[in-house]
Amino acid sequence: MELEIVRSAVGFLDAGEDFALATIIHTSGSSPRHGGTSMLVRADGSIVGTIGGGALEAHAIREALNVLQTRATRVVDFVLTPEDSAGLGMICGGQGAVLIEPMSASDDRARDLWQTLTRLLGEGGKGWLITTIKGSQEKGWDIARAITESRHAVPDKPRDRGDGSLVHMHPIGMDGTAYVFGAGHCGAKLIPALDIAGFRTVIIDDRADFANRERFPTADEVVVLDSLEHGVDRLGVDADSYLVIVTRGHVFDQAVLAQALRTDAFYIGMIGSRKKVATILGALRAQGFSDADIARVYAPIGLPIGGETPGEIAISITAQMVQVRAQVRGA
C-alpha cells in the first residue's frame, strides 16, 4: 500500500471526512494492477491512488459512491473482456474482485488502522496487512483486519480458510527503500521520481547544506554522515533495499560501493562512464572483492535511454529500478 494513500486516509479522518476504500483482493489472468492495490474514493468522486484506471476504475468509483451512501461493504467482481456482462469494455483478459468498504471518521478502529500503517511505513518497517472477509452480498460482509510487523512467507493472494471466510494477506513496506548517496543535481531529481514509483526514499550525503529538508521535502528520511567513507552499515540496509550511488566524485563513489557490497542490498547501482566504472571495479577487485560481488553492481546505472541531463538520468535510473523490482514480483 502506497504511503500517499495511507497519509491521505489519516488526513481525511482527522478532518472528519468519510471515504470509501477500494482494494483489489483477487486477480487472475492479465489485469492492470496486482492484488492489494488500493485507492480512496471521496464523496465528490475524486480519488487518491489508482486500481488501474479505465472503465474498471470508473465502475469501482460508482460502486464506492453507493457504498458511501448505504454504509454497506461490497465485493465487486470484474471480468476484463469486451464481452463482460458488466459492460466494462476492457481487453486485458483477466478477472478478479474489488473489496469496497466505507471508512468513517467516527470509527476508532479505522483511525487506529490507518495510524498504524502510517507509522509502519514512515519508519521503514515491514509487515502484513491481514484482511478477513466473511459473509455475502445478500447478508452483508464482516471485515476484520490485523497488522503484523514481523515478516512471514505468506502469499499475496486470498486464501479460503474452509469456513466460508476469505483471508487476504498483503505485504506492507516491501516495495523497497531507495538509499540515494549524493545530494547533488542527480539526487535532487531522483528522490521525487523514486517517490512516484512507490519507493521509500532516503537521501544521504556528508554535506548538510546539500542534504536537508529544504532541498528534499519529499524524502522519507534525510541522513548526513560524517563521511561517505563509512556509515553505510548503520543505515538499516536489508534485502529489500536499493542503493543508488551518485556522489560528487570517483573517490566517494568507490568508498560507498565498497561498503554497499558488504550489505544484503537487493539492488546496487553506480553512476559513471564505462571507463570510470571499469577503473573503480578494477580497484575493488584489487581489494579482494570477487567476480560474484562485482556482478551485483548495475553500472553504468540506469536504462540506456540516451539521456544526459539530471532529470533524464533520474528517469533512466528509476526505470531500471522499477524493472528490477517487477521481475521479482513476477517471479
In terms of domains, do 165 and 26 share one? yes
Residue where a domain terminates, one of 172, 194, 223? 172
Do you find a cis peptide bond into 300, omega within 30 degrees of 0?
yes
In terms of domains, do 322 and 302 share one? yes
Cβ proximity of 50 and 64 under 8 Å: no
In terms of domains, do 138 and 198 share one? no
Q: Which residue from 62, 161, 156, 43 is spatially nearest to 103, judged by alpha carbons? A: 43
3-state secondary structure of 293: helix
Cβ proximity of 314 and 305 under 8 Å: no
Is the pTM higher than 0.85? The answer reads no
Residue 2 has pLDDT above 80, yes or no: no
State how far the Cα of 171 lies from the Cα of 240, in Å rounded to an integer.
12
In terms of domains, do 292 and 202 share one? yes
In terms of domains, do 285 and 193 share one? yes
pLDDT of residue 153: 44
State how far the Cα of 57 lies from the Cα of 32, in Å rounded to an integer.
10
Cβ proximity of 6 and 117 under 8 Å: yes
Residue 226: CATH number of its domain? 3.40.50.720
How does 314-324 read in b/e, with b if 16+ C-beta sit within 10 Å?
bbbbbebbbee
Q: What is the pLDDT of residues 73-100, one digit of tens each?
A: 988 887 765 554 444 444 455 677 899 9
**Which of 9-18, 106-115, 184-193, 225-234 bottoms out in mean pLDDT, i.e. has the lowest?**
106-115
Percentage of residues in the chain having pLDDT higher than 90: 55
Range of the domain at 22: 3-172
In terms of domains, do 165 and 187 share one? no
**Which of 101-110, 160-169, 200-209 bottoms out in mean pLDDT, i.e. has the lowest?**
160-169
Which residues does residue 148 pair with via DSSP β-bridges, in sequence order? 128
Q: What is the pLDDT of residues 179-201, one digit of tens each?
A: 999 999 999 999 999 998 989 89
pLDDT of residue 121: 82
In terms of domains, do 123 and 7 share one? yes
pLDDT of residue 304: 93
In terms of domains, do 142 and 23 share one? yes
- DSSP state, residue 127: E
Cβ proximity of 252 and 232 under 8 Å: no
Residue where a domain terminates, one of 153, 172, 191? 172
In terms of domains, do 234 and 316 share one? yes
Residue 156 has pLDDT above 80, yes or no: no
pLDDT of residue 317: 98
Cβ proximity of 86 and 79 under 8 Å: yes
State how far the Cα of 60 lies from the Cα of 53, in Å rounded to an integer.
10
Residue where a domain terminates, one of 146, 172, 198? 172
In terms of domains, do 13 and 88 share one? yes
Cβ proximity of 272 and 252 under 8 Å: no
Q: Which amino acid is at 183?
A: A
Average model confidence (pLDDT) across the chain: 87
Q: Which residue from 214, 140, 197, 176 is spatially nearest to 314, judged by alpha carbons? A: 197
In terms of domains, do 254 and 210 share one? yes
Cell 547501482, residue? 269
Q: Which residue from 14, 201, 26 is spatially nearest to 104, judged by alpha carbons? A: 14
pLDDT of residue 217: 94
State how far the Cα of 158 lies from the Cα of 288, in Å rounded to an integer.
47
pLDDT bin (cut points 50, 70, 90) of residue 140 is: confident
**Which of 48-62, 181-195, 293-307 bottoms out in mean pLDDT, i.e. has the lowest?**
48-62
Overall domain count for the chain:
2
Contacts 24+ apart (CB under 8 A), 62-71: 63/22, 63/98, 63/100, 64/20, 64/22, 64/100, 65/20, 65/41, 67/20, 67/100, 67/101, 67/102, 68/18, 68/19, 68/20, 68/41, 68/43, 68/102, 71/102, 71/104
Which CA distances in Å does 197 have to 177, 178, 314, 322? 11, 11, 12, 7
pLDDT of residue 155: 46
Q: What is the mean pLDDT of residues 313-328?
A: 93
In terms of domains, do 143 and 186 share one? no
If you compute the radius of gyration of the chain from its CA atoms, what whole number of angstroms results?
A: 22
